[in-house]
Structure 1
């Protein structure tokens, strides 16, 4: 498994994509979205809430190592790691961005904003 999969998994969760093995409910997607947002915040120190396009733009240009060093190789940056996904999995960035403005994702974003699935975590 690629060391870059952290960012891929977090962005797929932010896109409200179904799991490869089964279709997720809106509640499962919203919970995954909240979790991914928090992990992206922890890794980068930034927060674009549920704005998928802004997260994508930031991850492609943030030329710093993540705040959690185990996520990438010591000499790698967030942008280097995230951009390498496109080389490793051609079309993955567009696949994620294709979900940005869908009615389904908007419904899941509303649920993620109004339901606290992690009551012990602040600011979710």
Structure 2
């Protein structure tokens, strides 16, 4: 993607310099018409690249499949799940979340997946976690 960005920037700079020279040294009316066409083409190319980039980042997904399956795209901290369970104190801040394009998936009965830290959770009947 970085190569695409730099090559596009180089091409746009070259086209801008060419149109400026054409307007200064040659036919200003012709340069104006050419700049309108070039502007439309560059705008359309930018739209296509933007749509491509958005579709590419769509791969980062959080999916849970199956009875009782749980999937979290980021950190799972400070939760109390179950009868009489509790989390006491101050929960720690999560260290991070998954990078772009990383998928988190939990498949099957009771499956659990997380894309970040899983800390400070009280899971089960009567469980307790102190921050």
Please give the TM-score of this superposition, normalised by the length of structure 1.
0.26
For the pair shown, which has the larger CA radius of gyration, 1 or 2? Answer: 2
Higher strand share: 2
TM-score for both structures, normalised by structure 2: 0.25
